[in-house]
């Protein structure tokens, strides 16, 4: 149904949702967010493993990490009222640029 990039993207979304649930679980003291965390991470890693069947692991992991960090940072700013600074923005930009460069290097080889 999905190609490797779609599987990877869906996995990243589930990882961000799962990480959000982890924060909401308050140290696994709340049942529903705790179960949501476990289910999302299990599904996310399943999708990641499926994407890896036809992607380079370095590229896939860079994209996974870069977009996961970006997504959870946006969730933190928008829903948990966490601070956003120029330094935080620059760091996230560098992570995304690094993932893009890795992808370009794989395509150039």
pLDDT tens-digit series, residues 42-57: 999 999 999 999 999 9
Q: Where in the sequence is the domain holding 76, given as residue range(s)?
A: 4-108
Question: Residue 80: what pLDDT?
Answer: 96
Say what the pTM is.
0.88
Q: Which segments in the chain show pLDDT lower than 50?
A: none
Q: Is the separation of the CB atoms in 7 and 50 below 8 Å? A: yes
CA–CA separation, 66 vs 58, rounded Å? 12
Q: What secondary structure does DSSP assign to 55-86, as a single string?
A: S-HHHHHHHHHHHHHHHHHHHHHHHS-----H
**pLDDT value at position 22?**
98
Q: What pLDDT, on the 0 to 100 scale, is given for residue 99? A: 82
The reported pLDDT for the residue numbered 102 is 81
- Check if the beta carbon of residue 49 is closer than 8 Å to that of residue 12: no
* Helices 57-79, 31-52: crossing angle, 10 deg rounding: 150
Our count of domains for the chain comes to: 1
Predicted pLDDT at 1: 66
């Amino acid at each position: 149904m999905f190609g490797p990039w779609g599987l990877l993207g869906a996995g990243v979304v589930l990882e961000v949702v799962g990480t959000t649930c982890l924060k909401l679980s308050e140290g696994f003291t709340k049942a529903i967010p705790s179960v949501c965390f476990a289910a999302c991470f299990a599904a996310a890693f399943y999708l990641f493993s499926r994407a890896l069947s036809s992607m380079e692991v370095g590229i896939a992991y860079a994209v996974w990490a870069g977009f996961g960090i970006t997504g959870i940072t946006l969730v933190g700013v928008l829903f948990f009222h966490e601070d956003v600074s120029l330094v935080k923005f620059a760091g996230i930009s560098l992570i995304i640029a690094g993932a893009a460069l890795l992808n370009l290097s794989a395509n150039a080889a």
